[in-house]
Structure 1
């Protein structure tokens, strides 16, 4: 009896897959009527999220973030620079978001993904406007030397909500960051002291005697929602993003203060209540992600 049923089960599965490909909106709307999504999630629930700090040994700070299948690798490299005349006692942060062809079949070799510079700019604006990092703390010698933090984020799997995962990986990487040991050389210039060369620090005047953590405030976290008719779907997959038009990304800091709202194109929002509902979902998400980040930091300290 079981053997007889197998071809029918396979046929039904193939028919369902064909229906999903040919009529994606109708397929998803059938699920929405039951307040559930094809992957089994409730409409307002984000995908399972994991964080691993210290993913890149050669970086000063790094993290691997996964939201569902969407995967981001963030790495920070610190370099000494001469501060600008306009801000002699401040350092700088440079952020680049990369989408190599391995992350999605939509990204072609030799052609930069159009969304990459947009996300880079959005990340930079969010991190700076949130007040997470006081750039004055990156100053070494006023007017002469300061830190430049190069943050590179690589998308390894682009399965929706790219900004959310990229921002999470960036915040986690800065949480893991250890500022290198530096000293003044005979010419009065700031030089890095290698980890295995503690003797050099004794011969030169140290600026900081040991690696230090960067003080972070108001950590920003985000949640992207898809709005379809009267439904709000949190943390969309790439499939959901490809067939629905209205997106809203809410960024709140760790004190639940609004940092930004971003709605890239699509139809206008019919009701302001939809925005409030998205903010409420983001508040819940911030609580979840804060706990995940704290657990990752605790695991790193134990190791």
Structure 2
């Protein structure tokens, strides 16, 4: 009885890998014709998703989100500011998205990634337009003091669908956020209260507290997103970097927890995405939103 020819198996594997590198689109289309992708996913299925809250001890709220290999770490730091005269009863949120060289070989040291400011702007627009955070809830003393939330999102591994993973990490970080304890000092200024339990702190908290204990934000209209690739008659949900690099048209659908459309982004492609394909993307996004709500359910997100 003969043994399997391992050298022949290796040769075949090398030939497949070479074909994939030289003719990537043809390689993918052979899989698509069988309604599968090279990673064995059905066309409309997203990758496995993990969310871990509270990983940054120095932040007021943080979370790590991982979709497939794409990994994002979000951290929120709260500071007291003087509100603007136009919005004296509202706080602010400032967001920045970072792509360090470690996240992808295409990001060069010393040069900012082209995608970073685009994703940063889209994330900021999505979070504010969705109404997830009520900025009035960040007010401390009308016209005098309010919270400024600095949200930094770091891409640790960029393997496609960066916006989806970044938004998920931001939502999870806001869910994990605890507003610090602050009080009025003798000069009438808002000051943070340390974590200690000495008598001075206790006295300030008891007599002049603005909020006596750490508190959570009330999150509403939480946004969830799904990026899809449109290629010929195929729709691929949650693409990898390789898929994004060889197929032109990307559509990102953002829905809130009530399945209401928050926004729709399209990039690439020479023509507008046809309406039936967009409808299919929206349906896939609704299914994905249900999955993400279930994943975040342990964090008490409604």
Aligned residue for 2:45, secondary structure, equals coil
In 1, the alpha carbon distance for the partners of 2:27 and 2:154 equals 32
Following superposition, the deviation at residue 274 of structure 1 comes to: 0.4
In 2, the alpha carbon distance for the partners of 1:2 and 1:76 equals 62
Residue 282 (structure 2) pairs with residue 248 (structure 1): no
Q: Is residue 193–residue 200 contact of structure 1 (8 Å, CA) maintained in 2? A: no
Residue 145 (structure 2) pairs with residue 145 (structure 1): yes
Residue 230 (structure 2) pairs with residue 224 (structure 1): no
In 2, the alpha carbon distance for the partners of 1:137 and 1:63 equals 21
Q: How does 1:188-267 map onto structure 2 within 5 Å?
A: 188-197=188-197, 199-204=199-204, 205-267=208-270
Residue number in structure 2 paired with 1:116: 116
Residue 287 (structure 2) pairs with residue 284 (structure 1): yes
Q: Is residue 250–residue 279 contact of structure 1 (8 Å, CA) maintained in 2? A: yes
Q: Is residue 92–residue 135 contact of structure 2 (8 Å, CA) maintained in 1? A: yes
Number of equivalenced pairs = 298
Aligned residue for 2:195, secondary structure, equals coil
* Equivalent of residue 275 in structure 2, options 252, 272, 275: 272
Following superposition, the deviation at residue 58 of structure 1 comes to: 0.8
Residue 66 (structure 2) pairs with residue 63 (structure 1): no
Residue number in structure 1 paired with 2:135: 135
Following superposition, the deviation at residue 264 of structure 1 comes to: 1.9
* Distance verdict in 2 for CA 1:242–1:77, change over 3 Å: same
Q: Is residue 183–residue 201 contact of structure 1 (8 Å, CA) maintained in 2? A: no
Q: Is residue 138–residue 147 contact of structure 2 (8 Å, CA) maintained in 1? A: yes
Aligned residue for 1:167, secondary structure, equals helix
Q: Is residue 220–residue 259 contact of structure 1 (8 Å, CA) maintained in 2? A: yes
Aligned residue for 1:108, secondary structure, equals coil
CA deviation profile, 1:233-289 (whole Å, cap 9, x unmatched): 000000000000000000000010000000023222352000000000000000000
Aligned residue for 1:213, secondary structure, equals coil
CA deviation profile, 1:86-132 (whole Å, cap 9, x unmatched): 10110000000000000000000000001101111000000000010
Residue number in structure 2 paired with 1:11: 11
Aligned residue for 1:159, secondary structure, equals coil
Following superposition, the deviation at residue 198 of structure 1 comes to: 5.3
Runs of at least 4 residues off by over 3 Å: 1-4, 197-201
In 1, the alpha carbon distance for the partners of 2:262 and 2:273 equals 23
Q: Is residue 221–residue 254 contact of structure 1 (8 Å, CA) maintained in 2? A: yes
Residue number in structure 2 paired with 1:186: 186
Residue number in structure 1 paired with 2:92: 92
* Distance verdict in 2 for CA 1:8–1:120, change over 3 Å: same
Normalising to structure 1: TM-score of the pair?
Answer: 0.96
Residue number in structure 2 paired with 1:42: 42
- Runs (5+) with no aligned partner, structure 2: none
Q: Is residue 194–residue 201 contact of structure 2 (8 Å, CA) maintained in 1? A: no
Following superposition, the deviation at residue 5 of structure 1 comes to: 1.1
In 1, the alpha carbon distance for the partners of 2:2 and 2:231 equals 40
RMSD over aligned Cα, in angstroms? 1.3
Following superposition, the deviation at residue 200 of structure 1 comes to: 3.2
Normalising to structure 2: TM-score of the pair?
Answer: 0.96
In 2, the alpha carbon distance for the partners of 1:199 and 1:211 equals 19
Residue number in structure 1 paired with 2:75: 75
Residue number in structure 2 paired with 1:301: none
In 2, the alpha carbon distance for the partners of 1:2 and 1:138 equals 74
- Runs (5+) with no aligned partner, structure 1: 299-303
